[in-house]
């Protein structure tokens, strides 16, 4: 049975309470459980092995070991300051842009040490794309936002086809196909975030990193992003940082819970538990994990 598309009337702006209620109704009508299908037969595409992150003398993250399997959604959850976004940015070497930052341990992509000698950070970011917390479209047209990365990378194919396919994969094509020359800033917040996802897809990455991609969006736009993640994991490996535990439970296959130790006013993040999402939320191995997901702290 074909799923009915969400209508424009359903997506029209509404007061916050109505937005949340409508999002819940749409989710219930779809009768589809997102995430929750981990498969150990999937190859490990990224492996973090005893990873420590420092900013100068400050030890931001301590000894993180996580295997990330292809075509799954892995969620990082935990209280503010626990290092989950720092770890995420380390995976595609975004922390290189911070002069005092350094990464110890090993982060491997298809077995290649991403911090090994001779590895080009720009090439790393082509294979491991990133979507940030707030939509950040370029001050260009919708078309030029998608075409920008491929042009820089020397893409020689049909750019029109690439722009269309990227927007289709990001579930945005039907909404913007008649206004590709218009400014990306004319789009709604949720559309801008899907545009940023399409922009990341356009460079043909294997992996998408998403740092709280729905935190700045209303409930309906959040639902669209969650549905999109579910569709994208058929082709891409996704790692998402989220403060929303319900979102992690809805969309992810495996979840890493981070916590934080405070020593002399300095906060050092650490990995507490990493396992299948269903197990972490129903039968966590660590008391600290249970305290967090039941709201006793965090």
Asked if residues 229 and 200 have their Cβ atoms less than 8 Å apart, the reply is no
3-class SS at 167?
Answer: helix
Which residues is 257 bridged to in the sheet?
77, 273
d(CA 259, CA 261): 7
The tens place of each residue's pLDDT in the chain, 298 residues long, gives: 444 444 444 444 445 566 566 556 555 554 444 456 788 889 999 999 999 999 999 999 999 999 999 999 999 999 999 999 999 999 999 999 999 999 999 999 999 999 999 999 999 999 999 999 899 999 999 999 999 999 998 899 999 999 999 999 999 999 999 999 999 999 999 999 999 999 999 999 999 999 999 887 888 888 888 889 988 999 999 999 999 899 999 999 999 999 999 887 788 999 999 999 999 999 999 999 999 998 876 5
Per-residue pLDDT, 220: 85
Per-residue pLDDT, 17: 60
d(CA 228, CA 194): 9
DSSP 8-class letter at 87: H
Question: What CATH number is given for 44-139+209-293 in this structure?
Answer: 3.40.50.300
Per-residue pLDDT, 298: 55
The predicted model scores a pTM of: 0.86
Per-residue pLDDT, 27: 53
CA distances from 138 to 33, 131, 148 (A): 34, 13, 9
Comparing CA positions, the residue from 46, 24, 80, 90 lying closest to residue 250 is: 24
Asked if residues 124 and 93 have their Cβ atoms less than 8 Å apart, the reply is yes
């Amino acid at each position: 049975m074909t799923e009915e598309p969400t209508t424009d009337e359903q997506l029209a702006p509404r007061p916050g309470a109505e937005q949340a209620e409508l999002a819940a109704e749409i989710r219930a009508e779809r009768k589809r459980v997102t995430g929750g299908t981990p498969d150990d037969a999937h190859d490990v595409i990224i492996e973090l092995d005893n990873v420590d992150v420092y900013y100068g003398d400050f030890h931001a993250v301590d000894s993180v070991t996580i295997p990330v399997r292809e075509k799954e959604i892995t969620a990082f959850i935990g209280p503010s300051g626990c290092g989950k976004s720092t770890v995420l940015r380390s995976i595609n070497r975004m922390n290189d842009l911070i002069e005092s930052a350094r990464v110890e341990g090993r982060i491997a992509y298809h077995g290649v040490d991403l911090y090994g000698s001779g590895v080009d950070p720009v090439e790393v970011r082509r294979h491991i794309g990133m979507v940030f917390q707030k939509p950040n479209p370029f001050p260009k047209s919708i078309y030029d936002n998608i075409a920008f990365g491929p042009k820089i990378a020397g893409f020689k194919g049909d750019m029109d086809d690439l722009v269309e396919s990227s927007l289709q994969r990001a579930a945005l094509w039907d909404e913007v196909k008649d206004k590709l020359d218009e400014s990306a800033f004319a789009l709604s917040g949720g559309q801008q975030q899907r545009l940023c996802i399409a922009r990341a897809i356009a460079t043909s990455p294997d992996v998408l990193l998403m740092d709280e991609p729905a935190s700045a969006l209303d409930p309906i736009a959040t639902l669209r992003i969650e549905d999109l993640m579910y569709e994208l994991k058929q082709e891409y490996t996704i790692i998402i940082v989220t403060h929303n535990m319900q979102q992690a439970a809805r969309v992810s296959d495996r979840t890493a819970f981070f916590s934080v130790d405070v020593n002399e006013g300095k906060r050092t993040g650490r990995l507490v538990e990493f396992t299948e999402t269903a197990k972490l939320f129903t039968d966590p191995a660590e008391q600290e994990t249970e305290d967090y997901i039941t709201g006793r702290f965090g």
